């Protein structure tokens, strides 16, 4: 179960498909040089393949244990984490003022894909630390930053997010954890949080928890939530570690997948109250959460890409080795490798094409977030902010949905051996399953896309993106290259379906919102299928023009063509599902579920 980082594909997606080179050329990245991307990715790829990938199975088999007040991770986990953080991988895109390397988020996105591809359960820990870093950087006081930020950025300490409670999942506004003001300006927190990723572990000597809780006089719902920093071990004025804080893991979940990632029930305040420090202002915790959501959701999207790529690599290897049946028309003796069968080839192409499209969508989201943060031009900043906001739910939901589909195809290609644990195909399938659920379920992402992103300014950001994608279609058509087959036509049809469906949804958003909500999930799929086809075509054209991607245009044209002819082509039926399907969905209340 080796992992081979697809560096050529990643660089092509990053530099050409996602537009990093164009953004750098336009001056939005300061003095960052795109040539730096390759050596960083290659080094990260080596670490992922050599250190993290071999631990993937170990973590799955051993899982984690709760011993007294401490979660113990799988054998090799603490050492691997120390090596990973020691090599600087946690600090790739952290601010230089706090000892980060200041590289673009887009570079870190590519690295994150490799952490997830090699070992999803391991990569989940830094994902949460990144969210904590963002919350602290954006909203923390200078005093808190001074104590915690550099240690979180270096990875010496890890971070967590404590939102979920039994009665408050998708609807965080229902949370009941309490925070009481203390006379010394700190707070005392009480309550129980569930499903907390890496809520406790033995990889670092401190964990910095970010906890949502409610003050006694807070208004109800999301307007009454505040965000607090609650360290596992209290930090003294000189920066050394003091006493253990009153926050403990009181249980760990037994799960379908990501066995090596501890999912903890966390109890706060059983011994008098966990000491917490306010982040931002009282009752404005949700605003703090919103600023971090883009990056956290993108990071989960990248998990989808990573697991899909790993499943693809494994299935390809198996299909080249496993011999069953004969190629149609073959007259030779013996059995052929199953990769000769068109049905297997189709599945592999589907896996490859979906993974490549999701990768570029995620990287494009990272580039938009980077540009929004780095550019000095106000108009560019506002356009990039809108683009990042639009792409984020697609990056999260499309990529994690396809992560599951691709992992399932991976099992299928292995036949019965796919269902048997020893090949590893089953682990990818199990591990992938959580990704459409956490960090806002994919249903919630679709609703966000339709109501907040399409719904903003009469769909302005959607129309701007469609215009940009239409230019790619023109370039494909102008190339007159027969190798593209029906790519241009299918992409044009896809964009037409996307535009009509967007208009239909916009009209209904206020008038008959249940119609719009009923079509949210197929709409997001339609969006991803069209956007994905266009960005893959852009990459294929770039390889033809510049020799990027290892200088092998036929390979990338084939992937783009397959995607357009087999996946974007479904835009037409997804359009019908959104527009014609709403009535049946909304009638189900009385017809089926009464």
Ligand X SMILES: Cc1cc2nc3c(=O)[nH]c(=O)nc-3n(C[C@H](O)[C@H](O)[C@H](O)COP(=O)(O)OP(=O)(O)OC[C@H]3O[C@@H](n4cnc5c(N)ncnc54)[C@H](O)[C@@H]3O)c2cc1C
Which of 195, 312, 398, 484 is close enough to bind ligand X by CB under 6 A? 195
Which element (helix H / strand E) includes 180?
A: strand 178-181
Which of 48, 150, 196, 536 is close enough to bind ligand X by CB under 6 A? 196
Number of Cβ within 10 Å of residue 316's Cβ equals 17
Given the complex with ligand X, which of 20 and 128 has the nearer CB atom? 128
Distance, C-alpha 481 to centroid of its chain: 34
**């506002």: which residue's tokens?**
382
List the structure tokens of 436: 């459409």
Number of chain residues interacting with ligand X (CB under 6 A)? 19
Which of 112, 129, 137, 164 is close enough to bind ligand X by CB under 6 A? 164
130 binds ligand X (CB under 6 A): no
Q: 467: which DSSP letter?
A: H
263 binds ligand X (CB under 6 A): yes
In the chain, how many H helices and how many E strands? Answer: 21, 12
Site for ligand X, residues 358 to 377, rule: CB under 6 A: none
Given the complex with ligand X, which of 254 and 379 has the nearer CB atom? 254
Which of 76, 169, 455, 550 is close enough to bind ligand X by CB under 6 A? 169
Q: In terms of Cα–Cα distance, which of 288, 174, 187 is closest to 247?
A: 187
Alpha-carbon distance of 272 to 326, in angstroms, equals 71
SS3 464: helix
Farthest-apart Cα atoms in the chain, separation = 87
Q: Which residue is nearest to ligand X (CB)?
A: 169
Given the complex with ligand X, which of 141 and 192 has the nearer CB atom? 192
Catalytic residue among 439, 493, 565, 575: 439
End-to-end CA distance of the chain: 49
Which of 444, 464, 486, 509 is close enough to bind ligand X by CB under 6 A? 444
Active site residue 253: no
105 close to 366: Cβ distance less than 8 angstroms: yes
Site for ligand X, residues 142 to 161, rule: CB under 6 A: 161
Stretch that binds ligand X, among 145-153, 178-186, 194-202, 521-529 (CB under 6 A): 194-202
CB of residue 174 to ligand X, shortest distance in Å: 9
177 binds ligand X (CB under 6 A): no
201 close to 263: Cβ distance less than 8 angstroms: no
Given the complex with ligand X, which of 445 and 487 has the nearer CB atom? 445
Alpha-carbon distance of 320 to 349, in angstroms, equals 14
Alpha-carbon distance of 404 to 392, in angstroms, equals 18
CB of residue 222 to ligand X, shortest distance in Å: 13
Give me the residues paired with residue 249 across strands: 266
Given the complex with ligand X, which of 210 and 318 has the nearer CB atom? 210
163 binds ligand X (CB under 6 A): yes
Site for ligand X, residues 422 to 441, rule: CB under 6 A: 434, 437-438, 441
Q: What are phi and psi of 485, to 5 degrees?
A: 55, -125
Which residues carry out catalysis?
Answer: 439
Q: Which residues bind ligand X (CB under 6 A)?
A: 128, 161-164, 169-170, 195-197, 255, 263, 434, 437-438, 441, 443-444, 447
């Amino acid at each position: 179960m080796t992992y081979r980082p697809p560096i050529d594909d990643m660089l092509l997606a990053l530099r050409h498909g996602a537009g990093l080179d164009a953004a750098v050329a336009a001056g939005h990245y300061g003095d960052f040089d795109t040539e730096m991307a390759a050596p960083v990715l290659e080094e990260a790829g080596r670490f992922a393949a050599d250190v993290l990938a071999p631990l993937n199975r170990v973590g799955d088999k051993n899982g984690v244990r709760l011993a007294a007040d401490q979660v113990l991770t799988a054998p090799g986990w603490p050492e691997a984490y120390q090596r990973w953080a020691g090599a600087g991988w946690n600090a790739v895109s952290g601010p230089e003022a706090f000892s980060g390397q200041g590289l673009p988020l887009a570079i870190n996105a590519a690295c994150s894909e490799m952490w997830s591809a090699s070992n999803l359960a391991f990569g989940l820990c830094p994902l949460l630390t990144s969210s904590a870093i963002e919350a602290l950087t954006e909203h923390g006081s200078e005093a808190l930053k001074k104590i915690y930020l550099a240690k979180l950025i270096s990875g010496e300490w890890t971070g967590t997010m404590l939102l979920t409670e039994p009665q408050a999942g998708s609807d965080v506004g229902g949370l009941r954890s309490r925070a009481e003001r203390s006379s010394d300006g700190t707070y005392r927190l009480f309550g129980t949080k569930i499903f907390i990723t890496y809520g406790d572990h033995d990889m670092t000597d401190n964990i910095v928890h970010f906890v949502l809780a409610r003050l006694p006089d807070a208004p109800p719902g999301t307007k009454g939530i505040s965000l607090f920093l609650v360290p596992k071990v209290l930090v003294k004025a000189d920066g050394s570690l003091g006493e253990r804080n009153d926050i403990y893991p009181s249980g760990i979940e037994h799960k379908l997948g990501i066995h090596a990632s501890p999912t903890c029930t966390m109890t706060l305040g059983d011994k008098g109250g966990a000491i917490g420090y306010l982040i931002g202002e009282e009752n404005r915790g949700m605003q703090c959460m919103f600023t971090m959501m883009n990056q956290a959701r993108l990071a989960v999207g990248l998990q989808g890409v990573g697991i899909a790529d790993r499943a693809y690599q494994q299935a390809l290897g198996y299909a080249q080795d496993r011999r069953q049946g004969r190629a149609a028309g073959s007259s030779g003796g013996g059995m052929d490798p199953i990769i000769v069968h068109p049905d297997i080839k189709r599945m592999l192409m589907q896996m490859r094409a979906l993974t490549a499209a999701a990768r570029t969508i995620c990287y494009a989201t990272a580039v938009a977030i980077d540009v929004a943060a780095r550019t000095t031009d106000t108009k560019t900043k506002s356009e990039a902010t809108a683009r990042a906001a639009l792409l984020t739910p697609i990056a999260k939901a499309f990529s994690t949905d396809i992560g599951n589909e691709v992992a399932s195809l991976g099992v299928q290609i292995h036949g019965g051996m796919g269902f048997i644990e020893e090949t590893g195909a089953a682990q990818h399938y199990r591990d992938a399953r959580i990704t459409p659920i956490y960090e806002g379920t994919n249903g919630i992402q679709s609703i966000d896309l339709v109501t907040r992103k399409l719904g903003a300014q009469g769909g302005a950001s959607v129309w701007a993106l469609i215009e940009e994608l239409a230019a790619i279609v023109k370039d494909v058509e102008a190339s007159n290259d027969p190798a593209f087959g029906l790519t241009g036509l299918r992409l044009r049809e896809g964009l037409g379906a996307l535009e009509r469906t967007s208009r239909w949804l916009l009209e209904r958003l206020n008038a008959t919102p249940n119609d719009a909500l009923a079509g949210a999930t197929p709409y997001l799929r339609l969006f991803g299928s069209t956007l994905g086809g266009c960005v893959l075509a852009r990459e294929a054209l770039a390889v033809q023009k510049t020799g990027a991607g290892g200088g092998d245009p036929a390979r990338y044209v084939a992937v783009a063509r397959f995607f357009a002819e087999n996946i974007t082509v479904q835009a037409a039926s997804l359009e019908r599902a959104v527009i014609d399907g709403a009535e049946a969905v909304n009638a189900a209340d009385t017809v089926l579920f009464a």
